[in-house]
Homo-oligomer: A and B are copies of this chain.
Amino acid sequence: MLQTAQRQSKTKKPKTALPHERFLEAFRWMLLARTLEEKLVSLYRGGLITGGVYIGKGQEAVSVACGLFLKKGDIFAPLIRDQAGRSAFGEPLLDVTRTYLGSRLGPMRGRDGNIHRGRPQESQLAMVSHLGAMISVTVGALMSKRFKGEKGFVGLACIGEGGMQAGAFHEGMNIAAVEQVPLVIVATNNHYAYSTPNDREFACHDLVDRAIGYGFEGYSLDGTDLGACLEVIGGAVKRARAGRPPQLVVASVLRLSGHGEHDDASYVTEEIKREPFACDCLKVAEQTIADLKLVDGETLAEWRKEAATKVDEAIATAQQEAPPEGDKEDWCAISMRNLVDSPE
């Protein structure tokens, strides 16, 4: 599969990978994520998915950069719009399709759904819905690695501008700085928390100004520009890994979908759609590829086809798999069976 192949090639690659190679690699993950999510949306419209579908359209450039610079052993705490980053980090496509399509073989086995999936065993944390809560969890995972004497690791946690207003986010960010763990927080300001525009979310001029108040290093970012995402987020990861203080990156984009696919996003104003940050990062990246002639149109078409094939395969596999069944389920919330309580 693509992700396996590329992950290997990533670690094998000489340290001075050509920026263009990185750019193209990232682009392909973005393409895969977009293809996958478009497919999920059409399944959703066809009534084939239970629960919500939440996609990262317009945020793939930021997200892919979050996953791309992490190595085995690093900690990744993605959120709901991080398909590109999850794939780049190494999440198999089957984890996605199995979760959305309700296969009992998925990582959450039908117990949790859609974007809540994760594999903490492989350092991809499984988010709870409560926004902000995963920051301190990432801090703890990093402390653990330090306790165990590991070196050179880093953690990256994603957040939206909405989630940044949650108390848990504040406590997590502050404790990261107190513990001086190698954490990168990538905040994506997509200008809405569900239907709520920025002016009812916060009142500071720029959210990156939060960094100084915690002792983080802060960077702003045009999230529609893949090159910038790779440079800024890659740089933050590098600095955290090298022992610099925790890093905050704030990217500006527009969410190019509803909050979830149930949402027509009619509250998004026409005015904001004309803002520069409203560009589609995938199209911008494609334009860059064309302008710089990084690859030709034929290759692009091939990549597109390849992505579609992989997505179709992963969906077909998951669709053939049995769902979980209530009467076969192991109804036990704890791992130590001898301690199970059994009230009526």
What are the residues of chain B within 8 A of A201 when measuring CB–CB? Answer: 178
Structural contact, B204 and A177, CB atoms closer than 8 A: yes
Give per-residue flags for A174-207: 1 if the beta carbon is below 8 A from chain B beta carbons, else 0: 1001101000000000000000000111111101
Question: Could you tell me if A178 and B202 are in contact, using CB atoms closer than 8 angstroms?
Answer: yes
Closest to A179 in B: B203
Count of this chain's copies in the oligomeric assembly: 2
Nearest B-chain residue to A204, judged by Cβ:
B215
**Interface stretch of the complex, out of A150-158, A164-172, A322-330:** A164-172
Residues of B within 8 A of A219 (CB): none
**Closest CB of chain B to A203's CB: distance in Å?**
4
Does A213 lie within 8 Å of B203, measured CB to CB?
no
Kindly provide the distance from the CB of A198 to the nearest chain B CB, expressed in whole angstroms.
10
Given the known inter-chain contacts A165-B171, A171-B165, please indicate yes or no for A209 contacting B202, CB distance below 8 A.
Answer: no
A residues 211-270 touching B (CB-CB < 8 Å): 211-215, 245
The reply on A10 being an interface residue by CB < 8 A is no
Chain B residue at minimum C-beta to C-beta distance from A208:
B213
Q: Point out the residues of chain B lying under 8 angstroms from A71, CB to CB.
A: none
Contacts of A7 in B (CB 8 A): none
How far apart sit A101 and B71, CA to CA, in the bound complex (Å)? 62
Considering the complex, give the chain B residue whose CB is closest to the CB of A207. B213
Which of A166, A200, A205, A213 has the most chain B CB within a 10 Å cutoff?
A213
29 A-B contacts, Cβ less than 8 Å apart?
A165-B171, A166-B167, A167-B167, A167-B168, A167-B169, A167-B170, A167-B171, A170-B170, A170-B171, A174-B202, A174-B203, A177-B202, A177-B204, A178-B199, A178-B200, A178-B201, A178-B202, A178-B203, A202-B214, A203-B214, A203-B245, A204-B212, A204-B214, A205-B212, A207-B213, A209-B212, A210-B213, A212-B212, A212-B213
